[in-house]
Structure 1
Amino acid sequence: MTIVLAASALGVPVAAAPRGAGRYPVNVPAGPLDRALSMLAGQTASDIGSAEPDLGRTVVIGVRGRLTGVAALGRLLRDTPFAAQDLGGGVYRVIRRPRSRANPARVEPRPASPPAPIEPPASPPPEIVVTASKRTVSLLRFPGAITVLRSGSGLRLGDTAGDTMERALAATPILQGTALGAGRNKLFIRGVADSSFTGPTQATTNVYFGEVPVAYNGPDPGLSLYDMDRIEVLEGPQGALYGAGAIGGIIRLVPHPVDLDTVAADVSGGVSATRGGAAGGDIAAMVNLPLSGGAAGLRAVAYRSREGGYIADVRRALRNVNTTITSGGRADLRVRPASGWTMDAGVVLQSVASADLQYAERGAPPLSRASLLAQPFDQRYALGRLIVAKAWDDGLRLVSATGVVHRDASGRFDATRRARPTQPIAYDTTERSRLLSHETRLSRTRGDGVGWMVGVSLIQARDVYGRMYGPPDRLREIVGVSNRTIDAAVFGEAGMAPLPQLTVTLGGRLTHQRSDGEPTAGSRANAFIRGRSVTRIDPTIAASWALQPDLAAYARFHSGFRTGGITVAPGVGRVADLRPDTIRVVEVGIRKERRGSTGVAGSAGVSIADWRHVQADLVDRSGFPFTTNLGNARIHGLEAEVNWVPVRSLRGDLSLFLNDARALEPDAAVSRNSRVRLPNTPPFAMAASVAYTLPIAGNREIGVRAGWRYVGQSTIGTRAPFDVAQGGYGVSQLGGEWREGRVRLTATIDNVFDVTGDRFAGGNPFAQAMRDEYTPLQPRTVRIGGAVRW
């Protein structure tokens, strides 16, 4: 989603009071030209007017950087049929260029007798454009629930190497996740959660890096959010747009794009201290370099963070065993080969090394446990992507995206039997994932949702899940699984307006999927699972009704599914055929935009989800993980958020989520009772924050912020011995910032009151049956940091 200011295409100028011709931080994303001009006017303190009637039908690719108003306007109008006249005093008029002129736009010289500028009205309201929907639809008229997180207004996101999805989870109760550790966590949206355990199944939430998926099966790889522009959370099943796996929703990580005209750099670092734990720290850097006179550019990012441990192992006489080190980087090359065309090629590399798990045991000293073996985890992750896009003057847009993912991970659990505590037993897992994805789509859409989009996609995935068991020096291979999936789909969506206030959207996806699997150990002839082919249609039907200029209601029906295939069954040496699970959701809601720089904005919605043949990763009483279909479930949800800006320097946010998630026809693996709550789905969660910014002398400012979130109580499972309560805690954060020009100094305190809650995590599955495990919140942690930007 991108933020732009609404503008008139019929001669009403959009303006902000001129304040000179200095450089300004400009961030105008792709979208209709009229809204882009409005946003640029506000960001550069310029007056920009036009009498051209079709600015709203021209789509621009956006502009970012620290630029003067005239330079930013020239870049924004590049490759469009419009140019700008400089009328003096920061006032510009956008006019249509004669067809005989050269294509590149430029700011025309000031005329000898400039016409008198029109007195501008008050600045129009901010409008939000949803791009995760694959069509440029304004948020007000988007017929569904969506959450956007970006740095600013009290939320620090993407500023440091240590920022991960944990920061996003703390910002909104719509997002939930487990806490097994970086590279092993599962993410959930709006209560569509299967279990706290991690296995080889598709996640209920798909994560995308820009236009390409970061994984097909398995957990979230835990990418650092440093230099990330925003996170878009598209709620509810997205089978029609994104295909298999997105039954809970989509999380889209959107990095800052390459700036083709501005040299920029940023260095960030900090140190942290955790009460009773080891010290931590982080460092990161970004550089943006234009190449070939603005026809190409390179943006590179590097980072490293050390999260200090705080768990002690009393048996091995070790402290702070759960230290985690994450290091990686990204590089993106953007080329503009011709008018309207852009090509983006990039790579993401990251490694995660965790020395041990972060669970503790009740009965032991606080934040400690007793284990015979270290339980480390290592992950190596690589993603390559190529995006080719073309934007025509009439609003037609082509996007072709290809991604390649390699992920290799290994971990160990201490499977020592407590009846024989001196004989160590290890359980090792290896995960190898390969993914090739491609999508091409063509679209033309207005901001109110009227328009169309068609596309094709192809996914080829291979996932191997291997297991070893026994004494550490005599490990033997036990049965694992290897799955291969080919997924081909055709999808489309169309929006129409039978009434001026009403937009109706119809769409769907035709998917043909083939999955083949086999065990990685044992006799293939006896245990081979025949391949499965599935052809299905996932429809979506939605409507948006504009009640007032700043208020709209929406309704939506959508569906999704996860693939089946071979999986590990309960016990040792067994496999089973996992059935696909499906979900259908009906939701209605209302959304209000803020009119101007102050006021109230918010949304509220209710949803009902019907989830069939729920897939879940579980463990048996002996501790061995397995995957099964749990049965059917129904989830009722209520969500609401409000944002209040009483004055420009003060902002408050409040959001909450209530849900009732019940297994209607549970399998024996869940419970023998009917209508039990699904595990890992707290019935209530909320988040609140307040931020205040105080300008002081010169270009200095001081900012303070405070936040609090509450996570309701749920269980790791619903059948003994796994019906252990988790959650039921509230945790707070404080932060401060001092900024002068390019320099920023920060201080944060996480878990201010040192709350000792139990997070949603499985810990060591071989000790779960003892019911004495818990995964504690990180104790009070203080971080002091700074950043310099050029």
Structure 2
Amino acid sequence: MAAGVWSEAMPVRKINLAVSLIAATLITPSLSTPAHAAERRVIAVAPGPLDRAIAVLAQQSGVDIGSAEPGLSRVMTRGARGRLTAAAALDQMLAGTPYTAQRLGGGSFRIVRRAVVRQPVARERQPKRPLTPPPVEVSPEIIVTATKRATSRLRFPGALTILRPSSGVNIRNDAANGMDEAIAATPILQSTALGAGRNKLFIRGVADSSFTGPTQSTANVYFGEVPVAYNGPEPGLNLYDVDQVEVLEGPQGTLYGAGAIGGIVRLVPHAVDLLGVSANVSGGVSATKSGDPGGDIAGMVNIPIETGVAGVRAVGYRVVEGGYIDDIRRNLRNVNRVATTGGRLDVRVVPASGWTVDAGVVIQDLTAPDLQYAERGMGSLSRASLLAQPFSQQYFLGRVVVDRRWEDGLHLVSATGFVHRDAESRFDATRPIRPNAPIAYDTDERSRLFSHETRLSRAQPNGAGWLVGVALIHARDAYARKYGAPDKLRDIVGVTNRTLDAAVFGEAGLAISPALTITAGARLTHQRTDGDPIAKLKTTTYIRGLSSTRLDPTLGVSWLLTPTLAAYARYQSGFRTGGITVAPGVGRVTDLVRDTIHVGEIGLRKERHGPLGLSASIGASLTDWRHIQADLVDKSGFPFTTNLGNSHIYGLEASANWVPLSGLKIDMAMFLNETHVADADPALRRQVGARLPNTPPFAVSGSVGYEWSLSADTHVSIDAGWRYVGRSTVGTQAPLDVSQGEYGSTHLGGTWTRNTIRLTATVDNVFDVKGDRFAGGNPFALAARNEYTPLRPRTFRLGGAIGW
């Protein structure tokens, strides 16, 4: 009998459970040759409903696991991780639940209710779970949660990327990682490099400009179920203790509303474990060539308050990135140091069967005493400025998520979030004609965001099912400015925008046949944006702005060609709101026109079911982008916002994950695109025919890693990665048509793990490539066309971690 999930003859009230377990087996085919139950394998079963966890474990272990018990979908398990036998994995998975595993003949197991479930029982000491399990080779059924209807990655009708810690060069398990790690792992993601907390993310070439301002980002970032911002840059949250990063290529207007025209980046944190106490501490030191040393330290503790009912998870971290750029005019070395301090606190409560309530806060403080750019002709990694150009950001996110699951598959989610972001910047605006008379340009940003969404869904991994929901957003973004001598700054006109966004949305997937699923949906949005020109942050009056009602449809098709190969096609639209914005010149404002986007895409996706083989995807897309909103700077360096014009983006992307033999993994990804500005704004005639900024026509990344066992509890791995970014420009017209990119960077790493102890060594930018991540920095010096943002020089890091 093939390894998998089976069920005995049972009464009618148990048929639904049997069907769901059998379906899980069909969707996740087992290995062709069953493994003996005593064989140790790499097991990685995520926390979740017990019935799904059993199905995944059966596939990963290669043994038969069955049950005739009702209600398994309502029981949560903490999962199992490590190189384990099937019996040991079941012990981990069933600990703290009212079920146990009975061993049957032929290496099979049956899940049954414990003889005594209400009396305290002494549990056998479980094997320690490794702090960081070896890279998972088995790819059972990867479920995409950012779709808001749990859908298997194979059957999702669109392009997406999922990044996990300790998988090639994706994202690491320590606090030294951040969004830069995710960007390096996939060429689909691009970013500016003004500095953490000020960078803009771009997905699949949908890039508006290199500068931050009052416009919405083209890529929305979510922390779990709630957005981290409405307008402005990506806040640079640390990825420590994050389970995975999901990138859904856009637009995603039907599910996520205004602003998601490029796509969604969803950070999925580790959930509170209600079944066991756990903790870990990690840290590291780094040395950068010709720069200051850096370091990081982080810790996590998870404590069940009442087993299976309530618990807390706390995370804290401190990261210091040593500077490596000198300012020769002020006679200072390594001025571009960055320090990030933050933490999270999450509480989970299960008040009744099927109900889960998660509440949490994220706090992060970021300080950078100076900018990241250098100037050509000033010596290696040097510049000359009269003033320090610091940046600071204080960020707070609060969230409450109520989750209700019924045994028949009905799923209710209600998520509420609140964001409080304050950021201050200074730029050196000293005029070249008076180089010894310092002039400062200061910005003060105050962003407040309230978001709420409630949705009800029923989903199947093949994409069938339905979803309906309502959403409400209230955002207020103030952008104040000052200009003048540092001791005599005067207020100049800024803007405050207040946006109210209410929407109802829905999506349904219909299985025409077992192989063919069609998905259709729409979002009806009513949005009003009021603005006010301000000279200070406080304002009491608003100018009535734009008010609009818009329908954004979506249509997708998924066709299962073989059990491991599917084709997809998709159409989706989206938009960004307009409003009052800063116009060219000092003291002027104007109305910004809403921009819209329409995307059609087709592709193929192959999943690897088993320890060896190929997982890959390839897709092509066509994007029609109208009235592009962009934050720009004029020739004097003053920022303004305008509508650039229209553009078409032609994209081709591909990725592959190949495991040719046990322990060896090879990853490759690439993105090709062609894009030009057409029908430009009459005031910006020279833009016609220019490429959109920050969109290299070619980008590629790759990695190779090998892991082997020295003993049952000791493992060693090595990995190497390379990334190439093609040429792009800062903007579409002089003086912003300055080249950047055209560099390649290499990474090497090694890890030694024994039980809960991990030691790591990495080398980034192995060949010490200077490169240019972003041909900018200080907008008031862009006219000289000699700014560039170099890659961090060759950097060594030694790290370690221990868990309990």
TM-score scaled by length of structure 2: 0.90
Alignment of 1:382 onto 2:382: no
Contact 2:300 2:314 in 1 (8 A): yes
CA contact (8 A) 2:447 2:476 kept: yes
Q: 1:110-138: CA deviations, max 9, x gaps?
A: xxxxxxxxxxxxx9962211111000111
Q: Distance in 2 between matches of 1:290 and 1:753?
A: 47
Identify which of 391, 397, 422 aligns with 1:408: 422
* Bigger mean CA offset, 371-380 vs 132-141: 132-141
Q: Secondary structure at the match of 2:385?
A: coil
Distance in 2, matches of 1:522 and 1:407, equals 17
Structure 2 CA distance, aligned partners of 1:497 and 1:573? 57
2:55 is the counterpart of 1:38:
yes
Matches within 5 A, 1:71-220: 71-74=91-94, 85-87=102-104, 91-94=108-111, 126-155=140-169, 157-220=171-234
Report if aligned partners of 2:43, 2:57 keep a CA contact under 8 Å in 1. Answer: no
Contact 2:59 2:140 in 1 (8 A): no
Q: Say if 2:499 is the partner of 1:489.
A: no
Matching residue's letter, 1:132:
A
How far does residue 524 in structure 1 lie from its aligned partner after superposition?
12
Is 1:63 matched with 2:63?
A: no
Instruction: Give the aligned residue type for 2:166.
Output: G
The 3-state SS of whatever aligns with 2:504 is strand
Post-superposition CA distance 1:220-252 (Å, at most 9, x none): 000000011000000010000000100000000
Residues 54 and 588 from structure 1, CA distance in 2 versus in 1: closer, same or farther, beyond 3 angstroms? farther
Aligned residues of 2:530 and 2:542 also touching (Cα < 8 A): no
Q: Which secondary structure state, in structure 2, belongs to the residue aligned with residue 676 of structure 1?
A: coil
Q: How far apart, in 2, do the equivalents of 1:315 and 1:669 lie?
A: 38
Structure 2 counterpart of 1:50, one-letter code: G
Q: For 2:355 and 2:706, how far apart are their aligned partners in 1?
A: 41
Question: Structure 1: which amino acid aligns with 2:384?
Answer: A
Distance 1:139 1:105 in 2: 42
Q: For the residues of structure 2 that align with 1:646 and 1:303, how far apart are their CA atoms?
A: 37
Residue 93 of structure 1 and its aligned partner are, at CA, apart by 1.5
Q: Which amino acid aligns with 1:542?
A: G
Q: CA deviation at 1:595?
A: 2.7
Q: Distance in 2 between the 1:670 and 1:754 partners?
A: 39
* Contact 2:519 2:557 (C-alpha < 8 Å) held by counterparts: yes
Name the amino acid aligned to 2:187: P
Query: Is it true that 1:19 corresponds to 2:33 in the alignment?
Result: no
C-alpha RMSD of the superposition: 2.9
The structural deviation recorded for 1:500 is 2.4
Partner of 2:133: none
- How many angstroms does 1:63 deviate by? 2.5
AA of the residue aligned to 1:27: V
Spell out the pairing of 1:235-634 with structure 2 (5 A cutoff): 235-521=249-535, 529-634=543-648
Please state how far the C-alpha of 1:502 moved relative to its aligned partner.
Answer: 0.7
Contact 1:271–1:280 (CA under 8 A) maintained in structure 2: yes
1:716-773 deviation per Cα after TM superposition (whole angstroms, max 9, x unaligned)? 1121121110001111100011111111110111100011111125300000011111
The code of the aligned residue for 1:191 comes to G
- CA drift at 1:293: 2.9
Identity of aligned residues (%): 61
- Among 638, 642, 667, the alignment partner of 1:653 is 667
Relative distance call for 1:471 and 1:36 in structure 2 (3 A) is same
CA distance in 2 between partners of 1:603 and 1:248 (Å):
19
Instruction: Write the distance in 2 (CA, Å) between the matches of 1:260 and 1:197.
Output: 44
Judge conservation of contact 2:522–2:552 (CA < 8 Å) in 1.
yes
Q: What do the CA deviations read for 1:31-52 (whole angstroms, capped 9, x no partner)? A: 6x65421323466x58442376
Quickly say closer, same or farther: Cα 1:448–1:679, change in 2 above 3 A.
same
Q: When the two structures are aligned, how many residues end up with a matched partner?
A: 762
How far the C-alpha of 1:8 sits from its partner, in A, is 3.3
Amino acid at match of 1:541: L
Change (3 A) 1:341 1:102: farther
Cα separation, 2, equivalents of 1:76 and 1:643: 36
CA contact (8 A) 1:59 1:395 kept: no
Preserved contact between residue 330 and residue 385 of structure 2 (Cα < 8 Å): yes
Distance 1:732 1:608 in 2: 32
User: Which residue number in structure 1 is paired with residue 66 of structure 2?
Assistant: 50
Cα deviation, 1:152-201, whole Å, max 9, x if unaligned, reads 23235241212110000100000000100010000000000011111111
Q: 1:549 to 1:478 in 2, by over 3 A?
A: same
CA distance in 2, matches of 1:287, 1:48: 35
| 403 and 158 in structure 1: CA distance in 2 versus 1, 3 angstrom threshold | farther
Cα offset, 1:64, TM superposition: 3.6
Unmatched 5+ stretches in structure 1: 110-122
Counterpart residue identity of residue 577, structure 1: D
Unaligned 5+ segments in structure 2 are: 6-19, 83-87, 124-136
Contact 1:466/1:520 (<8 A) preserved = yes
Q: Which amino acid aligns with 2:401?
A: I
* CA distance in structure 2 between the partners assigned to 1:52 and 1:392 by the alignment: 19
Equivalents in 2 of 1:619, 1:726: separation in Å? 17
For residues 128 and 420 of structure 1, what CA distance do their matches in structure 2 show?
A: 61
- Contact kept? 2:677, 2:687, Cα under 8 Å: no
How far did 1:573 drift? 0.3
Distance in 1 between the 2:174 and 2:358 partners? 24
What is the rounded CA distance, in whole Å, between the counterparts of 1:627 and 1:730 in structure 2? 32
Instruction: State how far apart, in whole Å, the 2-side matches of 1:256 and 1:129 are.
Output: 15
Against the structure 1 CA distance between its residues 724 and 10, is the aligned structure 2 distance closer, same or farther, given a 3 Å change threshold? Answer: closer
Amino acid aligned to 1:538 = D
Alpha-carbon deviation of 1:77?
6.9
Superposition deviation, residue 613 in structure 1 = 0.4
- Give me the whole-angstrom Cα distance separating, in 1, the residues matched to 2:448 and 2:537: 25
| 1:706 partnered with 2:720 | yes
2: CA distance, partners of 1:106 / 1:188? 53
Deviation per residue, 1:288-337 (Å, 9 max, x gap): 11112331111100000000000100000000000000001001000111
Which residue of the partner structure matches residue 46 of structure 2?
A: 28
Select which of 243, 250, 253 maps to 1:229. Answer: 243
If the length of structure 1 is used for normalisation, what is the TM-score? 0.91
SS in 2 for 1:672: helix
Which residue identity is paired with 1:607?
S
In structure 1, what residue type is equivalent to 2:630? A
Match of 1:112 in 2: none
Residues 636/343 of structure 1: CA separation in 2 closer, same or farther (3 Å cut): same
CA distance in 1, matches of 2:138, 2:790: 47
Question: In the aligned structure 2, how far is the partner of 1:27 from the partner of 1:49?
Answer: 14
1:733–1:748 CA contact under 8 A, matched in 2: yes
Q: In 2, distance between residues paired with 1:203 and 1:389?
A: 29
Partner of 2:591, secondary structure, is strand
Give 2:13's aligned residue.
Answer: none
Q: Distance in 2 between matches of 1:523 and 1:160?
A: 38
Query: Counterpart amino acid of 2:160?
Result: I
For each residue in 1:58-105, what CA deviation from the matched residue of structure 2 results, as whole angstroms up to 9, or x when unmatched? Answer: 576552466943444436976xxx98545489742146x79xx99999
Any conservation in 2 of the 1:289–1:299 contact (CA below 8 Å)? yes
Is contact 1:284-1:303 (8 Å) kept?
Answer: yes
Query: Out of 700, 706, 715, which is 1:686 matched to?
Result: 700
* Contact 1:87 1:93 (8 Å CA) reproduced: yes
Which deviations, in whole Å up to 9, do the C-alpha atoms of 1:1-40 show, x marking residues without a partner? xxx99963599997753238x9997532446x65421323
Which residue number in structure 2 is paired with residue 749 of structure 1? 763
